[in-house]
Amino acid sequence: MSSDVVIFVCTSCKREGDAPDAPRAGAALGEAVAVAGPHRVQFVKCLSNCSRGPSAALVRPGGWSYVFGKLEVEGSPEALHEGAALLGASEDGTMPWNSRPDILKRQMIARIPPFDFTPAESAP
């Protein structure tokens, strides 16, 4: 169910080359994501993806989590909500690759298995 997906947005992220005292690009991204769609948005101070900010993560209980970087206020908020809907509707707890917005294909940093993950196949 998509209402279980949370979009975490790092509010302390800067863009590469931003002056130390410049407004935080992550805070602007967070504001834009909060008004762009129906999913719960949670602001966090750091996702530890500083060299590739602004960053956000999609998290679903019992499903995979996804971390994205180098996001922009233009286009990324809608893509994050679309990704949250895909993740929430997924039966296997993953976000289908082919259905994702291009931003969520190009800007993915990591995909993290759920806490109770057990592989379908044994490792080599």
Name the least confident of 16-20, 37-41, 61-65, 100-104. 16-20
pLDDT over threshold 70, residue 3? no
Averaged confidence pLDDT in the chain: 92
pLDDT, average across residues 1-11:
84
Is 119 within the bounds of a domain?
Answer: no
Distance between CA atoms of residues 19 and 32, nearest Å: 22
The answer to whether residues 64 and 114 touch, using CB atoms and an 8 Å cutoff, is yes
Is 120 within the bounds of a domain?
Answer: no
For the chain, the domain total comes to 1
Q: What does the pLDDT read at residue 20?
A: 87
Is 69 within the bounds of a domain?
Answer: yes
Is 124 within the bounds of a domain?
Answer: no
Is 79 within the bounds of a domain?
Answer: yes
**CATH number for the domain including 74?**
3.40.30
Q: What does the pLDDT read at residue 122?
A: 47
Is 121 within the bounds of a domain?
Answer: no
Phi, psi of 84 (to 5 degrees): -65, -40
Q: What does the pLDDT read at residue 2?
A: 45
Distance between CA atoms of residues 9 and 41, nearest Å: 7
Is 123 within the bounds of a domain?
Answer: no
pLDDT over threshold 60, residue 15? yes
Please give the residue range of the domain that contains residue 45: 2-112
Q: What does the pLDDT read at residue 17?
A: 86
Cis peptide before 54 (omega within 30 of 0): yes
